[in-house]
Amino acid sequence: MVVNIDSLLTRRQLLAGMAATSSLPFGSLLAASASKKMHGALMILSTPYTESGDVDYEDLTKEVAFCDQCGVQGIVWPQNSSEQRYLTKAERIRGFEVLAEANRGRSMSLTLGVQADDTAGMLEYARVAESLEPDGMIAIPPTSADSLAQIRAYYAALCEITSRPIFVQTSGGPEIELTNRLSRSTCP
């Protein structure tokens, strides 16, 4: 094998090149992907309640610790099994904050459910979630949508808020075709 010595990089050139790329826009993407990898089982947490019917945020925090002790790779909240449709906006936002704090420093990924009846409501949740820097977001299609175009616009709006992974939760129906199309692209 013949190697052209003039085409080899010196160690100094390689290190200088690596330092220069750290200022490029994708440098933060490389750093973020190295911090937490989304993989494995993502557990949807239950919403605990006090005897008076209030959300029990202390118990929600304990669910995070329990999942971490069990070796769970990621947690998700709130979704249908978390009774998200019965939570008030204030309860959901407080839950986002509690979970972000409880999961800080842990190796588990955190995915926050930002679904709402319409795009405007979803965007309110997504903006709050984005400020808390979860590892991903999940959204059930909007109940107010009466066409695939409206569902597509809903997820496109979510893509404008975040560059984090987005999970589309469906229970069957016409959005399956849209989900298949979304899986072949980066955003709608």
Does 59 have pLDDT greater than 50? yes
Question: What are the extents of the domains in the chain?
Answer: 37-182
CATH number for the domain running over 37-182 = 3.20.20.70
Residue 188's pLDDT is 55
Q: Is the pLDDT of residue 62 over 80?
A: yes
Angstrom distances, CA of residue 172 to CA of 56, 105, 129, 140, 169 = 32, 36, 26, 11, 9
Tell me the pLDDT tens digit for each residue of 105-139.
Answer: 999 999 999 999 999 999 999 999 999 999 999 99
- The confidence score (pLDDT) of residue 81 equals 86
pLDDT single digits (tens) 146-161: 888 888 899 999 999 9
Specify the higher pLDDT residue, 62 or 31. Answer: 62
Give residue 47's identity as a one-letter amino acid code: T
Interval 89-99: pLDDT, tens = 999 999 999 99
The predicted model gives 19-34 an average pLDDT of 38
